[in-house]
Amino acid sequence: MKNKNILCERKATLGRALVLDGALGTLLQQRSFIADKNLWYSGFNISNPQIIREIHEEYISAGADIITTNTFRTNPIAKRKSNIGITNTAFVVDSVKLALEAKLLSNSNVIIAGSNAPAEDCYQKERTISHFDLEYNHKKHIELLYESGCDIVWNETHSHMDEIEIICKFCFENSIPYSINLYFEESLKILSGEQVFDVVELIKDYSPQSIGFNCVKVELLEIYLDNYPIPTNFGLYLNCGVSNVYESVIVNTHSPTQYVELTKKYFNNSLLFVGSCCGSTPKHTEVLKENIDALYRN
């Protein structure tokens, strides 16, 4: 890949692992906002942009070095199922703009990561769309995110080999900086059935800027890393919810202090970034930042 690794460069500049922001959708859920069945909370980028911008600002104030755009469901497949009266291009541009505005308002040098989710539901095993639609969905969404001003495309909660290969190959061939973050089950397999280790080995051939794991439970990642080597340029942002991921509403979560206690064993020189996923808040980001700072000072 021709691009310099923006994540590694920033880590070298700061002299520590980078802090990624936390959840946005489940944070809105905690604040009693109702999600759309197709767009999740991405429709708020259009209907209530001030709320989204303010959450980005909250995470920046909490110490995040990377913030993810609220584009988890601005992809063509999700947009096509909705009745939102806006073009897909405008939908993504306006959504990314909120993160860029928060960066400007905060006078911050934060990295803008464009969230690109699975084309269909994150935990859905069976594919219901064609390969053509799947490929178009990711290529179009990635292009829109990058052209709208994202520093890096943040592919997250991916657990199907067909999508992973499409994303990695497209970003690699077009010199688009990207991170790939995987979700897997207790079997240490992704939803399409491949072993996580084999998936990581395949991804390496396409030069991602980082390989991470997200939305899995802390205990499950520990089992994986006890059995397999830590990937190069490794990152994590794990599920703070204590129930399973299929619950529609996350009620009980690990507190910020509990979450840090569970994840701090990975706070070492191999770690490129650390954040938190479903059920987290800006307070989780703040406590992570405090602990990362303390570690690297010592």
Residue 144 tokens read as: 């829109």
Question: What is the distance between the alpha carbons of residues 236 and 228, in angstroms, rounded to a whole number?
Answer: 15
Question: What is the set of domains in the chain, with CATH numbers?
Answer: 6-297 (3.20.20.330)
Q: What is the pLDDT of residues 68-109, one digit of tens each?
A: 999 999 999 999 999 899 999 999 999 999 999 999 999 999
DSSP 161-210: HHHHHHHHHHHHHTT--EEEEE---TTSB-TTS-BHHHHHHHHHTT--SE
Beta bridge partners of 210: 179
Average confidence (pLDDT) over 248-256? 75
The amino acid sitting at 292 is: I
* Of 74, 163, 171, the residue nearest 125 (C-alpha): 163
Q: What is the pLDDT of residues 11-53, one digit of tens each?
A: 999 999 999 999 999 999 999 999 999 999 999 999 999 999 9
The amino acid sitting at 80 is: R
Please tell me the predicted confidence (pLDDT) of residue 1: 39
Average confidence (pLDDT) over 226-230? 93
Q: Which residue has the higher pLDDT, 7 or 245?
A: 7
